Structure 1
Amino acid sequence: MTSFTYRRSFVVPWGDCDPAGIVFNPKFFTYFDANTWLLFEAATGVKVHDINERFGIIGIALVDAGANFMKPVKYGDDIEIVSRVAEFRRSSFVVEHKILLGGDLRNEGTETRVWAIKHPDDPERIKTSAIPDEVIKAFG
């Protein structure tokens, strides 16, 4: 379990909502994805667009995702997304996300991602690689 937490607040735009003004559930996965990349930027100090080059990877590939939609989030709500790495494994990690409205938990989700590099025998494929110690240490 890591101690580093990333928080981001924003007002829900109309384009993320259905005609009733409620956020489409798939949009939360977009919010989670953005927060994961920003979490890594905040922890490591490496800009999102430089992470792949800096660490010699092709990305932090998403291999599993889930969410629990408990209460609606609506157009104009000023929400906060709180994210942290719950677990680092050798080549994968689990990120936990919480969506809050005024401190009230509305939704939560998890992502499992892998540290992905080009496959040495076939550049069209990817393979996992060990997450560098310096990355894990950056999350305290």
Structure 2
Amino acid sequence: MARIFQESRVVAWGECDPAGIIFYPTYYHWMDAAAGSLLARCGWPAQRMRDEHLAMPLVDSQCAFVSSPTFGDTCEVRVSVARLGRSSFGLQYEFFLQGQDKLLARGSESRVWCRYQAGPGSPLRSLPMPAELRAALGEAPPA
């Protein structure tokens, strides 16, 4: 079973559309933020990523909307590792109304572990994910 990481988000006024329900890009913002939080919990916070010129660019993203939370609702973001390749990895997301089993949305992302060739702003080159990161994500390194 995949290891699940969780965090909570409160739907802010600026994250709602005129109808007072969550504006769909908010889920994409929350997925991106959860990916960063996940890496930080695994030992790769933003400062380390910058210091080591590392990045995890997004190469694919999807989201299916099921139900809409409204302004002030607290939502639970659940993220799990769907796939670990040599340098690419897939994340799966589920969004629930906190304290309920009400599914709000499902999403996914594909990302690539990279290093800037000559510092931030220069071209990226993929590289194998570190064994320590793989272990922190709950998977053994490939044989």
Which TM-score band (shorter chain)? 0.7 to 0.9
**Selected match of 2:122 from 102, 124, 131:** 124
How many residues are treated as equivalent by the alignment? 134
* 1:107 counterpart residue number: 105
Deviations 1:53-92 (A, max 9, x none): 3xx3431111110011111121111110001111110110
1:60 to 51, 56, 61: 56
Helix, strand or coil: the match of 2:72? coil
For 1:134, what is the secondary structure of its paired residue? helix
Aligned residues with identical type, % of pairs:
31
**Which letter does structure 1 place at the counterpart of 2:131?**
D
Q: Return 5+ residue gaps in structure 2 as ranges.
A: 139-143
CA distance in 1, matches of 2:50, 2:82: 22
Assess if the C-alpha contact under 8 Å between 2:55 and 2:116 holds in 1: no
Task: Name the structure 1 match of 2:14.
Answer: 15
SS in 2 for 1:28: helix
Contact 2:43/2:133 (8 A) holds in 1: no
* TM-score when normalising by structure 2: 0.85
Structure 2 counterpart of 1:78 = 74
SS in structure 1 at match of 2:19: coil
- Would you tell me which structure has more strand in proportion to its own residues? 1
- Whose helix proportion is higher, 1 or 2? 1
Give the corresponding residue for 1:135: 133
Q: For the aligned residues, what is the CA RMSD? A: 1.7
Task: Tell me the residue number matched to 2:3.
Answer: 4
Deviations 1:6-35 (A, max 9, x none): 111122101000111111111110000000
Match of 1:32, SS state, is helix
Unaligned runs of at least 5 residues, structure 1:
none
Q: Secondary structure at the match of 1:99?
A: strand
Query: Structure 1 length normalisation: TM-score?
Result: 0.87
- Given residue 30 of structure 2, which amino acid in structure 1 is its aligned partner? Y
